Amino acid sequence: MSAVTDKTPQGGIHPSAPSLKHARLPKWAPAATAVGAIAVAVGIGMGAELSSKIQWGLIAVLLFVGTLHVLSSKVEGTRQAKDRLATSLLWVCFILAVIPLFSLIEYTIAKGLKVLDAAFLSHSMNGVITTETGGGIYHSLIGTLEQVGIATAMAAPIGLLTAIYLVEYGRGKLAKTVTFFVDVMTGVPSIVAGLFILSFWIIYLDFNFSGFAGAMALAILMMPVVVRSTEEMLKLVPNELREASLALGVPKWLTILRVVLPTAIGGIVTGVMLAIARITGETAPVLLLVYGSTAINNNPFDGPQDSLPLYVFQQWKNGNEPSYDRAWAAALVLIALVMAFNLLARGIARWKAPSGGRG
Amino acid sequence: MAKRIDVSGLSAYYGSAKAIEDISMTVEPRSVTAFIGPSGCGKSTFLRTLNRMHEVIPNAHVEGKVMLDDENLYASGVDPVAVRRTVGMVFQRPNPFPTMSIYDNVAAGLKLNGMRRKGDLDTLVEKSLKGANLWNEVKDRLNKPGAGLSGGQQQRLCIARAIAVEPQVLLMDEPCSALDPISTLAIEDLIGELKERFTIVIVTHNMQQAARVSDRTAFFNLAAVGQPGRLIEIDETERIFSNPSVQATEDYISGRFG
């Protein structure tokens, strides 16, 4: 190659530089530029007495992206400079996306830890005067766990079986109709699901407010999510595995039960867990159907219960300092609960994933 | 054990598209019959009609008769599940069940068909793995996942899985096309042993392979693109490769087309 390029006349793609090497910025350059940009931005901000920290941030971002681009195009050439520009813009976007998440968690933890202790987790609000400290979320925690548990017990099997029908058996009009209604259900606002159960179960059939009524509305919200995620997971199972099983003379239902489902179980469980996490934070249907209560009610089938989102809402509505503290602490518990579901889902997915690959 | 297959006037369709047309042939028991022909001529489709795997594909259907000894596979009232227990199949790409161990893969067909006694299972798993020449390589790691084996071992695992349910006929759809020459040789040797017990039908793109392993060879071709595939001729492998009676066969074998 080099012997040939030596004799190549001027005018090729690299008329003067036949080498494959070229100058690079050192590895620490982006980090150093970022630190420098932030320092300069802070200097400008203080010097010009800009009050808004957002302005400081914008200046830092522009300095970082601009400086790195200029540096790179001077040292590394235009193609590398474009690469640097795209990379640094992506980093900025990533940080922008992460800021709200982290500040939300940080704020909730800071505010929530104030009253969060064992007593808070193990006591109800029964007999607590809302303008004073004390009381807890035990009744709401029980309510949330029971309502979400019942909703899952209703929605997960129906959703799973629907998905199995759609992927393994569904042909023609019926399957299309089912898919269409699942799509429609995905878009049902939670308040509408709540109103439907309210008018049907409580007003028309004349049942009392209860955790079960709330769970039914939550199940309506959860079902399409389970169907969708399970459907996707079942579609990922290679057809060859189904054929291998069928070719052994295994009936179709056993093939689905013993070959298809175990292969997809990790993803299915993750989908169900994420659906659970989604409905755990629902407030509207709970507000309409569970009604809210300050006392412990362990029976989800009779009488008003409470739930964590509802608790946060009501404490905030009380409008005084001790109630705000309780609301933050309950919000923290709610976030922790949802996070625990997510982590559990990931753990199960990793544990159940088909152990493939050459060892 | 092994059974004769008699096909007459068989056509297979995908939706309204005819994939193969009017095929009639006889497959002798305890022998190896090879199907050769260019891609898309319907060899695999025809193979899949022999154990009713064709109809697993949505909208696919079959016309004609496939007699297994004196039973028509397509007679009304015939259970496709029972057909597939009698006529086993090995696929082009090794497809062990990823959630199962080596042992469970071989035992899958037996277990899923209701065999539960541990002792019987152990015996049959060992017998099948020995039958597939895999026992010595895996006997110390039967509880390891089947997907951890090499490609050639996986394919022999699939053969062990297929013969574990004691079928009468074994269909092989290009079983060596994803394997290296050494694994291919291992499987070809295995085919030679298996034909003592089973009727074997093998689809292959490798003409040397057809010449090496088969007793009879069938040549498939299509008249033109978009036309259904047809059986051009079937004869003793030696005759097909030395003195075929149809010019197209000779052209294909000598590499003049396809």
Asked whether residue A83 carries a pLDDT value surpassing 70, the answer given is yes
pLDDT at site B194? 87
Number of H helices, E strands in chain B: 10, 10
Q: Are A98 and A212 part of one and the same domain?
A: no
Sheet strands side by side (includes B169-173): B71-72, B60-68, B5-14, B17-27, B229-236, B216-222, B32-36, B199-203, B169-173, B87-90
CB A139 within 8 A of CB A295: yes
Q: How far apart are CA B248 and CA A318, in angstroms?
A: 90
pLDDT at site A346? 83
Per-residue pLDDT band for A50 (boundaries 50, 70, 90) equals confident
Q: Domain residue spans in chain B?
A: 5-95+169-253
Nearest Cβ partner for A249 among B91, B93, B165: B165
pLDDT in tens, A281-290: 888 899 888 8
Per-residue pLDDT band for A357 (boundaries 50, 70, 90) equals very low
CB B135 within 8 A of CB B197: no
Contacts of B180 (CB under 8 A, 6+ apart): B151, B152
Q: How far apart are CA B173 and CA B180, in angstroms?
A: 16
Nearest Cβ partner for A249 among B58, B81, B145: B81
Highest mean pLDDT among A232-236, A354-358, B135-139: A232-236
Q: Measured between beta carbons, which residues in chain B are less than 8 angstroms from residue A251? A: 81
Domain contains A105: yes
DSSP string, A243-304: HHHHHTT--HHHHIIIIIHHHHHHHHHHHHHHHHHHHHT--HHHHHHTB--SS----TTSB-
B51 sits in which H/E element: none
Contact residues of A toward B, CB < 8 A: 171, 238, 240-251, 254-255, 258-259, 262-263, 354-359
Q: Which of A284, A158, A159 is nearest to A214 (CA)?
A: A284
Per-residue pLDDT band for B1 (boundaries 50, 70, 90) equals low
Does the interface predicted TM-score (ipTM) exceed 0.95?
A: no
- Could A247 and B82 be called an inter-chain contact, meaning their C-beta atoms sit closer than 8 Å? no
DSSP-derived 3-state class of residue B236 = strand
Nearest chain B CA: its distance from A147 CA (Å): 34
Asked whether residue A51 carries a pLDDT value surpassing 90, the answer given is no
pLDDT at site A126? 87
Radius of gyration of chain A (CA): 29
Nearest Cβ partner for B98 among A249, A251, A356: A356
B97 vs A: CB within 8 A = yes
Radius of gyration of chain B (CA): 18
Asked whether residue A153 carries a pLDDT value surpassing 90, the answer given is yes
| Structure-token pair, residue B217 | 């060879």
Per-residue pLDDT band for A221 (boundaries 50, 70, 90) equals very high
Nearest chain A CA: its distance from B145 CA (Å): 7
Nearest Cβ partner for B91 among A171, A244, A255: A244
Nearest chain B CA: its distance from A171 CA (Å): 8
Q: How far apart are CA B188 and CA B92, in angstroms?
A: 14
B89 vs A: CB within 8 A = yes
What's the CA angle centered on B107, arms B104 and B112, to 5 degrees?
Answer: 100
Q: Are A145 and A106 part of one and the same domain?
A: no
Could you tell me which chain B residue has the CA closest to the CA of A359?
A: B148
- Span of A90-94, A304-308, B222-226 with lowest mean pLDDT: B222-226
Q: How far apart are CA A201 and CA A208, in angstroms?
A: 9
What is the amino acid identity at position B232?
I
Domain contains A158: yes
What SS3 string covers A288-329?
Answer: HHCECCCCCCCCCCCECECCHHHHHHHHHHHCCHHHHHHHHH
What is chain B's length?
258
B131 sits in which H/E element: helix B118-131
Query: Which domain range does residue A233 map to?
Result: 138-352
Q: How far apart are CA B72 and CA B69, in angstroms?
A: 8
Q: Measured between beta carbons, which residues in chain B are less than 8 angstroms from residue A258? A: 108, 112
CB B61 within 8 A of CB B13: yes
Q: Are A108 and A164 part of one and the same domain?
A: no
CA A152, distance to chain mean position in Å, is 18
Nearest chain A CA: its distance from B244 CA (Å): 34
- Could A245 and B98 be called an inter-chain contact, meaning their C-beta atoms sit closer than 8 Å? no
In terms of DSSP bridges, do strands B216-222 and B229-236 run parallel, antiparallel, or are they unpaired? antiparallel
- Span of A149-153, A353-357, B112-116, B228-232 with lowest mean pLDDT: A353-357
Q: Are A219 and A291 part of one and the same domain?
A: yes
pLDDT at site A143? 93
Provide mean pLDDT across the span A165-194.
Answer: 91
Residue A26 has φ and ψ, to the nearest 5°, of: -65, 160
pLDDT at site A16? 59
Q: Measured between beta carbons, which residues in chain A are less than 8 angstroms from residue B112? A: 245, 248, 250, 254-255, 258
- Could B58 and A171 be called an inter-chain contact, meaning their C-beta atoms sit closer than 8 Å? yes
Domain contains A44: yes
Nearest Cβ partner for A262 among B56, B83, B99: B99
β partners of residue B11? B63
Domain contains A123: no
Nearest Cβ partner for A246 among B53, B99, B158: B53
CB B165 within 8 A of CB B109: yes
pLDDT at site A18? 62
Q: Are A85 and A173 part of one and the same domain?
A: no
Residue B67 has φ and ψ, to the nearest 5°, of: -95, 125
pLDDT at site A191? 92
Provide mean pLDDT across the span A96-103.
Answer: 92
pLDDT at site A128? 85
* Number of structural domains in chain A: 2
Domain contains A129: no
| Structure-token pair, residue A84 | 């640097």
CATH of the domain at A344: 1.10.3720.10
Q: Are A189 and A330 part of one and the same domain?
A: yes
| Structure-token pair, residue B10 | 């068989």
Q: Measured between beta carbons, which residues in chain B are less than 8 angstroms from residue A358? A: 148-150
Q: Are A165 and A87 part of one and the same domain?
A: no
Nearest chain A CA: its distance from B220 CA (Å): 24
Nearest chain B CA: its distance from A243 CA (Å): 8
Per-residue pLDDT band for A213 (boundaries 50, 70, 90) equals very high
pLDDT in tens, B146-187: 888 988 899 999 989 998 988 889 999 988 888 888 888 888
Q: Measured between beta carbons, which residues in chain B are less than 8 angstroms from residue A259? A: 97, 99, 108
B144 vs A: CB within 8 A = yes
Q: Are A322 and A212 part of one and the same domain?
A: yes
B61 vs A: CB within 8 A = no
Q: Measured between beta carbons, which residues in chain A are less than 8 angstroms from residue B145? A: 354-356
Nearest chain A CA: its distance from B147 CA (Å): 5
β partners of residue A19? none
pLDDT at site A355? 57
Report the CATH number of the B5-95+169-253 domain. Answer: 3.40.50.300
HSE-CB for B110 with a 13 A CA cutoff:
23
Q: Are A176 and A294 part of one and the same domain?
A: yes
Asked whether residue A308 carries a pLDDT value surpassing 90, the answer given is yes
pLDDT at site B50? 92
Provide mean pLDDT across the span A267-280.
Answer: 90
Could you tell me which chain A residue has the CA closest to the CA of B112?
A: A250
* Average pLDDT score over chain A: 87
Asked whether residue A3 carries a pLDDT value surpassing 80, the answer given is no
pLDDT in tens, B33-43: 999 988 888 88
Domain contains A10: yes
